[in-house]
Amino acid sequence: MQFVAKNSFFLPRRRLFGCVMAALAALPGAAQSQAAQSKSAHSGSQLSVPPAQRAQAHSAAQTSFDFPLEPGDILAVNVANHPEMNSPGLSINEAGKVTLPVVGNVLVAGKSMAQAQQIITAAYSGQLRKPQVSVTLVIAKPRQVNLIGAVTNPGPLNLINGWRVGDAIDAAGGLTAPLEDIVATFSHAKGASQKLDLMKILASPGSAANLTLKKGDTISLKLFQGRRVTVLGDVKVPGPVLLRRQARFLNALTGAGGLLQTPETSEVTLVRSNRKITLSAVDAFNNPDERGNLELINGDQINVKAIRTAVSVVSFQNLVKGPGSYILEGKTGVLRALLTAGGLTVPPDQVVVSIRRGAKEIPVNIEKATYNPASDLALQTGDILLVSPLEGPKVKIAGSFLRPGEVNLKKEATLLDAIFTAGGLSAKPDETRLNILRNSNGHQVVLNIDPVSLIGLRDLGQNVRLQDGDLVIANPQAASAVFVSGEVEKPGEYQMKEGDGLVELLLRAGGPNLAAALKQVSIVRRNGTSMTADVSPAFKINTMQNAKVEGVRIPVELHEGDLINVPRNPNKVLIMEAVARPGYYPIPENGTLTIGDALLLAGGTIGGARLQEVAIVHRTANGTVNKRIVPVNQIAKGKFTIDEPLSNGDVVYVPQGKVSQSKLNTALSGLSILQVGRSIFGF
């Protein structure tokens, strides 16, 4: 088989043909001769078929003719030893018959040469005993196939016995365009068309892809005109794309520069003749040859949209490290949103999580989702993820426990529940002193617990029900030290030194932190009595630190075994969105916290912060919520707005980037929704 390439489109591929022709050279008979001549034809500058070779191929076709006979074919019939019955030139008439001497008309049209010989022999058997008859084809009526398109000589071709698609292309002078620009199809005289793989036909002439031809077959070799499609959305170069040889979904994405995000986070829609078809970028990339990589047509429009989920994570009582608004790539669930916000600050069994979606509130079993991610709930853009403590009390556990700290307990939790949550006592019950400090009507009450009766379940009355804000303290009975707990930098046991007073013990514990309520420091004696002291005169309080005021002493005498507790300041504000450290920040007991102070405590604003559109959400005493926009970089009523003081429970929302009025209203409305039930501010 030969391909003639007028413009040398096939020159780089001739080595393949040389190998194929060398293999054919080993075939016997006519095939060997034909292969040798084909190989010889390749030695020229162009792949052409010499007239002598075509003549020989035609001769070979006569000796191995296997086309069905047709009217117009001429046969020669020879009957051995009976020359009167010989017929050197019998033409098959329009009725498909030949007229034999003596015998008369015999139907041979539609029969092979072998079948025709059997029929004629049978006809003479009525006249002769065991006649010896030979039938040969003298002249074959031309049988044609048709070539259309990118060949040197398109049009009808006289079919030669044994021809395949490649032989016909070769006989028509070869291709006139590169393979990549040709769309090849094949059809029988009465049949549907099918695609041809010209590359495989060229590389493997003996493969099934190189179809055997029959009379009336048509080979179409049309130039690919290109298809114009449009790719819009989240791609690198959106706009019109001209597709040439390959016109599939992935080719269009490549022409548009590729996706701006991963296939998993892309939503793709094909618009075709006012119909919308959903495409999967993941399926197309995983199976580029399968149905997922759809073939495109002229005028198709592909819309690519990055899947982004905008959610707000709101934490009650600092249960999330980084509450705020987030835009997450792709579809996301509650767990991913919480991780993006820095994660929980307490175990998942100590929080209540819900999704606020419009007017609906959807509960989330976050504990189950933690160990079974399949149960995680998917979030939608605009969702507000609420993380609040359990409905039970929030208590602080300090002293001789395996896991001291602040915990949220279940509803109606008891002292044993708290001890179990803290991992149990770290000392023997009969060597432990156990107390509960409780605020009741503005006064601190001390409950003395017998740990032996409690742990041994001898007296269930010792297992008191805990209240929100309780402080459970355990320390050794024979302790000669003073125990400092609460809002100090380094809570723990400290040995009394000569001259130590309350202020000195607090300083040795690292000093009060910014959340400390210095006017309500409690001291519990070993005998169960207690007192409250105001240590605020001894510390200079500002928004950044609590520094000691020299020369000030608090007239409280300490004893070995005393328990000192510094409670938390309940007055605080929440700073959200475009700040370095979003979260809750206390209002100084003896001072004010301005908008500027709050922004400074939160680490300052980050890039894109819209200081001219800062929102302040304030809850009044009667429970109503006021929302207002404060441009903090301006002067109002003769004062910088950044110096405006904040009130307990205020939310400072600093937008980021370009914010439409509708988006800002949505954010503020979402914050207002949070003013129902348990407050966002944790009190």
Specify the fold of 394-566. Outer membrane lipoprotein wza fold like (3.10.560)
> Higher pLDDT residue, 426 or 392?
426
Per-residue confidence band for 528, with pLDDT thresholds at 50, 70 and 90: confident
Per-residue confidence band for 415, with pLDDT thresholds at 50, 70 and 90: very high
28-32, 552-556, 611-615 — which is least confidently predicted?
A: 28-32
Contacts of 320 (CB under 8 A, 6+ apart): 313, 338, 341, 342, 343, 344, 345, 387
Q: What is the mean pLDDT of residues 401-419?
A: 87
Architecture of domain 572-673: Roll (3.10)
- State residue 100's pLDDT score: 93
Dist CA 138 CA 142 (whole Å): 13
Dist CA 331 CA 321 (whole Å): 22
Per-residue confidence band for 270, with pLDDT thresholds at 50, 70 and 90: very high
Q: What is the mean pLDDT of residues 89-114?
A: 92
Note the residue count of the chain. 683
Maximum Cα–Cα distance across the chain: 153
- The candidate with the shortest Cα–Cα distance to 228, out of 298, 293, 302, 303, is 298
Per-residue confidence band for 220, with pLDDT thresholds at 50, 70 and 90: very high
9-18, 271-280, 542-551, 577-586 — which is least confidently predicted?
A: 9-18
What tens digit of pLDDT does each residue of 504-522 get? 888 888 888 877 888 888 8
Crossing angle of the two packed helices 14-24 and 29-41, in degrees rounded to 10: 160
Average pLDDT of the chain to the nearest whole number: 79
CB < 8 Å & 24+ apart, contacts of 229-233: 229/296, 229/298, 229/299, 229/300, 229/301, 229/302, 230/300, 230/301, 230/302, 231/255, 231/256, 231/301, 231/302, 231/304, 232/301, 232/302, 232/303, 232/304, 233/302, 233/303, 233/304, 233/305, 233/306
Q: What is the mean pLDDT of residues 649-677?
A: 59
Per-residue confidence band for 136, with pLDDT thresholds at 50, 70 and 90: very high
Q: Give SS3 for 182.
A: strand
Does the pLDDT value for residue 21 go beyond 60? no
Does the pLDDT value for residue 472 go beyond 50? yes
Write out the residue limits of the CATH 3.10.560.10 domain(s) in the chain.
Answer: 11-63+143-223, 227-306, 308-389, 394-566, 572-673
Dist CA 71 CA 98 (whole Å): 9
Write out the residue limits of the CATH 3.30.1950.10 domain(s) in the chain.
Answer: 74-139
> Of 3.40.640.10, 3.10.560.10, 3.30.1360.40, 1.10.287.1770, which CATH number belongs to 227-306?
3.10.560.10
Does the domain at 11-63+143-223 match CATH 3.40.50.300? Answer given as no
Q: Provide the CA 119 distance to its chain's centre, in angstroms.
A: 72
Q: What is the mean pLDDT of residues 276-301?
A: 85
Per-residue confidence band for 476, with pLDDT thresholds at 50, 70 and 90: confident
> pLDDT above 70 covers what percent of the chain?
82
- State residue 48's pLDDT score: 33
pTM over 0.85? The answer is no
> Of 3.90.79.10, 3.30.1950.10, 3.20.19.10, 2.60.120.10, which CATH number belongs to 74-139?
3.30.1950.10
Q: Give SS3 for 624.
A: coil
On the 0-12 / 13-18 / 19+ scale of CB atoms within 10 A, 51 is exposed
Does the pLDDT value for residue 537 go beyond 80? yes
On the 0-12 / 13-18 / 19+ scale of CB atoms within 10 A, 557 is exposed
What tens digit of pLDDT does each residue of 555-597 get? 888 888 888 888 888 788 888 778 888 777 888 877 788 988 8
CATH class of 308-389: alpha beta
Per-residue confidence band for 541, with pLDDT thresholds at 50, 70 and 90: low
Does the pLDDT value for residue 34 go beyond 80? no
On the 0-12 / 13-18 / 19+ scale of CB atoms within 10 A, 393 is buried
Does the pLDDT value for residue 54 go beyond 50? no
What tens digit of pLDDT does each residue of 336-379 get? 899 888 888 877 777 889 998 888 889 888 877 766 777 889 89
Q: What are phi and psi of 509, to 5 degrees?
A: -85, 20
Which two structure tokens, joined as six digits, stand for 101? 């001497």
What tens digit of pLDDT does each residue of 593-639 get? 898 888 988 888 887 788 888 888 887 777 677 888 888 777 766 67
Per-residue confidence band for 168, with pLDDT thresholds at 50, 70 and 90: very high
